Amino acid sequence: MRNVLQMVIVLNCLYFASSHAQSKPKPLPCAKVDLALIFDRSSSVSDDEQDAFIVQAVVDLSKMYQVSTEALQIAIGVFNGKPYTLTEFTGEQTEIESALQSFPDAMGSTSMLAAFALAKKLFSSEIQVQENRSTAKKILIVITDGEAYPAEYVSAGKIADQLKSGAWIQEVDEHAAANPVEIFMVSTMPKLHTIFDQSMSELATSASHFNHVDYSQLFSYLKTFDFCG
């Protein structure tokens, strides 16, 4: 009986060791990726449950791909009528988790101009302090409920065009090769999805992709990204 018990303990240890090894995060197969996540914090998206989904999705993603200064770096910002930087590009897990605990209260309007201006600032600032990231693949995800000022779409679209074409980097370093930013616009409101697509037509040609994703499915959505493609 004692031998059987010992065998069960050994088998359980082997099982848990194997499970841990299989679930261990793996770094991205490509060399460098910079991911900017910009979240709408206007009054129309005020919801503690949504905030919890955002935090969990970003934490899970950063752990899944083992953020590091040599591979995947993440920047996080929020916007309403103004832009707010929660963390500039970092490969430190603790910095990402700390930033996610400092979301400002949801209030005010939705300024897409503020969102894209913030994104450009984040990408530009990174190149100034981390020259080795100038060739990293750039991805921007803007998550909003789509209720924005149409009057700002042209100005926001011009910044988005700079990002998408890669010309933004030459304002920082005129000798740097253009580095296009792949832009994903995400609507989180099913009832506004059609309005979102139509009312943001000025930005449609400036974004790389338009998607609808419920907050509860945010991590599932982020997992589908081919960051190295």
* 59-85 per-position pLDDT tens digit: 999 998 889 888 899 999 999 889 999
C-alpha dist (Å) from residue 11 to 2, 17, 40, 81, 121: 14, 10, 49, 58, 53
Neighbours of 104 (CB within 10 A): 13
The per-residue pLDDT for 163 is 93
Q: Determine the 3-state secondary structure of 59 from DSSP.
A: helix
Q: What is the pLDDT of residue 21?
A: 40
Mean pLDDT of the chain: 79
Beta partners for 79?
40, 83
Rounded Cα–Cα distance for residues 92 and 70 (Å): 11
Give mean pLDDT, residues 125-142: 86
pLDDT tens, residue by residue, 175-203: 788 889 999 888 776 654 555 555 555 56
Please report, for the chain, the start and end positions of each structural domain, with discontinuous segments joined by +. 26-223
Cα dihedral sign for 83, 153, 74, 69?
A: negative
68 in Cβ contact with 37 (< 8 Å): no
Return the amino acid letter for 58. V
Q: What is the pTM of this model?
A: 0.82
Domain range 26-223, CATH architecture: 3-Layer(aba) Sandwich (3.40)
